[in-house]
Amino acid sequence: MSQRTSLAGLDDYTADGAESFDVLENLVSSLPITKSEQQQIITQLHNAKRYLKIGFSLNLSLQSNVSSHCVDFALSDSNPKSDFYINCNHHHNNDCENCENLVATLTQITELIRTSSNPKKDEWEYDCTASINKIYEWQKHLVRHFVQSKSKNDILNNLKPDAAFWLRDWSMKILPMEYREKASSWFGKRGMSQEVDVFWTPSGKTTSDGQQILQKYVYVTMLDQSSQDMHAVGAVADQVLRQFHIDAPQVKNIFLRNDNATCYSGGAQIYLTKYICQQNGFTLKRIDFNEAGKGKDQCDRESACTKTHRDYYVSSGNNVTTALQMKQAAESNGGVKDTKVAVVNIDENKKSLKLVKLKDSTQYHSYEFGNNNVRAWKQYATGSGRLLKLPTFEELQFKSGLTVISQFPPLFSQGTKLNPAKQSSQQRKPSSKKSSVLFCSDLHCVLTFADTKELEQHIKVNQHEYFQENAEVQSLPIIEKAKIYFIDHLKGATNIINSTTHSTTSSSTSSVTKKSHSNSIWIARGWAQRKRSIRISLSIQQTKFLDQLYERGEKTKKKVSPAAAADLMRTEIDNKNNKLFRPHQYLNKKQIANYFSSKKREPFQYPSSAVDEENDDDAEDEEAAQRQQQQLDDDEPVVTAKASYYRTRTAYTAMTNRESTDEEEASDKEQDFDETVTSGEDTDPDGLQEAEESP
């Protein structure tokens, strides 16, 4: 099988973790040890990386005797009185050989660097510590994704006839397209917005294996120019739910799932969605969020379908430069199946939404609504949950300001093949195969399908079935084991030889494994919980260095990239040929990019509400930040995108790189200039969005 080596848009946790293994491999190659020892450690790193990519997720379960596989133990609070505490009714007396060998390998590399006398020892220790932290964050990320995915499976498996499962997501900004585009029109384009809402309801039919078939309703809302903020999400949801109530009058209850972007997870949006559902005749039961970076779902597939129609429409001699033309393109050639398209506009002068702050909202990823309250969880079904007060609808002061330019059509599109001639020629070719077996696109899923219809239904609802080797392989006949390993081999998931030797062992493991167990991160309850980033202050030396690089780029018009600035920080020397920065003072390229971004926005005013909100947060964490100042060697600094705005203060705080502007507070002298700035993409002119949690 061919393997793709050039990829884009990868999950940050996964990409950082994979890159960290490469960094450690380079470090091992530089260590003063024999070639055979280097090769042995590198092989162990390759095995550990392969295990995290493929095997670790398959071994996870809510209850397990292996502490690194027990999801309840990994996500539970340590305090038994906490609302997010889970009591494990079993002992963690077993070990996973692969997990323990991962810790043993990382510990071995750390010890070799610690005992080294190389002049680059400090640099090596910094790179090693940073890489190990990213690898463990990748592992924690997989645990959180496992439990958040379970919420969707539980809802779909128990979906009643009067209930619907709702997915929603913004598509990427769509740039105008012309059939014959001049060079002058190609530059300086402004993207158009498109939100996709997908509803699943039981159809009353079942598959051959007894699973219910779900009916799909897709609504695509297009806007010429709009900020993708909490207000826009609420206004579009009101329009979509009103139409869905007409198309599916039997639905009374709704379960919502979306990604954890600020426009969906902010406090005002959580409460607003509940009331919008209520006003349109629905009861919102739950809201669950995807784990960060794991939000690919049916909405993205529908967006891809509309893009295909749009490209075909332009190639036929048409232009797509407005939202109305986007709708015409989506409805061309029979349209996208089971889809309705509408075009709306939001008047910036008539819209309103009061910022209602939800304390610790960035910690919560699941909500369950009652009549007058809401219960929140850090992760799905972790503990009893925390009861929160539900504000009234009047407190939100919501006004949509939405005008419908083109309504949803009365009937859903039936869809047609975009190239029927090519399709018919392919169908005329006789098939040499009497029967075939189709595999799921998820390499971890062990289900097979006899025809494409069953496969499409399975992919739509993402109800994958994973094989947990440690629990089931021992009880299967050898012929069944061979079938499973051979299927994995055909799908490219594993190698047959490796599959036959992979296992989760009991506590009677090798001496290396036992020695590393005491150093593992899995002995502490709640080891996979998301930790809040620590706010620290930038030193005067760091600030001066970054300012010099930025000003040099502004003067010479040869700006230094954040990656190049990070490398310069590690090699810069002073007048005495001493290194200007110690390893614990290094900043990574993301932090430097945030600082450069804040320098660029220095001339503009920030909304007072956003400043007050951050000041409140700073006051709450001031004591914790001061305590952490002495732990710079252990904690990676996070630089806020607004750091330079607070340069008159003593601290440069570090939590968010969310940009914000405010047209209403701009001075008369800068009004024209500020309007140009605030009209850009992904701005928040009303200052409604809360700070998004940094991963």
Q: What is the pLDDT of residues 77-133, one digit of tens each?
A: 999 999 999 988 888 888 899 999 999 999 999 999 999 888 888 899 999 999 999
- What's the pLDDT tens digit per position in 447-502? 777 666 677 667 666 666 665 544 444 445 666 666 666 766 665 544 433 443 34
Q: What is the pLDDT of residue 227?
A: 87
Q: What is the pLDDT of residue 686?
A: 38
Residues found in the chain:
695
Lookup: tokens for 37: 């020892």
Quote the distance between the C-alpha of residue 558 and its chain's center: 33
Strand partners, 373: 389
The answer to whether the CB of 323 falls within 8 A of the CB of 221 is no
How would residue 557 be classed by pLDDT, with cut points 50, 70 and 90? confident
Q: What is the pLDDT of residue 492?
A: 54
Residue with tokens 């061919």: 2
Q: How many CB atoms lie within 10 A of CB 540?
A: 8
Lookup: tokens for 77: 């609070």
Cα separation, 641 vs 598, in Å, equals: 5
Lookup: tokens for 694: 């940094």
How would residue 4 be classed by pLDDT, with cut points 50, 70 and 90? low
- pLDDT value at 681 more than 80: no
For β-strands 163-170 and 373-377, DSSP reports them as unpaired
Cα separation, 560 vs 596, in Å, equals: 10
Mean per-residue pLDDT, 219-236? 92
Q: How many CB atoms lie within 10 A of CB 476?
A: 14
- What's the pLDDT tens digit per position in 264-313? 988 889 999 999 999 999 999 999 999 988 878 889 999 999 999 999 99
| Structural element, H or E, at residue 253 | strand 253-258
- What's the pLDDT tens digit per position in 126-173? 999 999 999 999 999 999 999 999 999 899 989 999 999 999 999 999
- Which residues touch 511 (CB under 8 Å, ≥6 apart)? none
Q: What is the pLDDT of residue 457?
A: 66
28-32, 56-60, 317-321, 462-466: segment of lowest average pLDDT: 462-466
Domain residue extents for the chain: 12-145, 159-406, 436-501, 540-678
Four-residue CA torsion sign, 261, 266, 269, 270? positive
Mean per-residue pLDDT, 426-441? 53
Cα separation, 493 vs 487, in Å, equals: 9
DSSP string, 552-588: HHHHHS-PPPHHHHHHHHHH-B-TTS-BSS-GGG---
- pLDDT value at 626 more than 60: no
> What pTM was estimated for this model as a whole?
0.76
Residue with tokens 């499409």: 456
The answer to whether the CB of 250 falls within 8 A of the CB of 160 is no
Nearest to 568 by CA among 556, 554, 580, 577: 580
For β-strands 193-206 and 373-377, DSSP reports them as unpaired
Cα separation, 243 vs 617, in Å, equals: 40
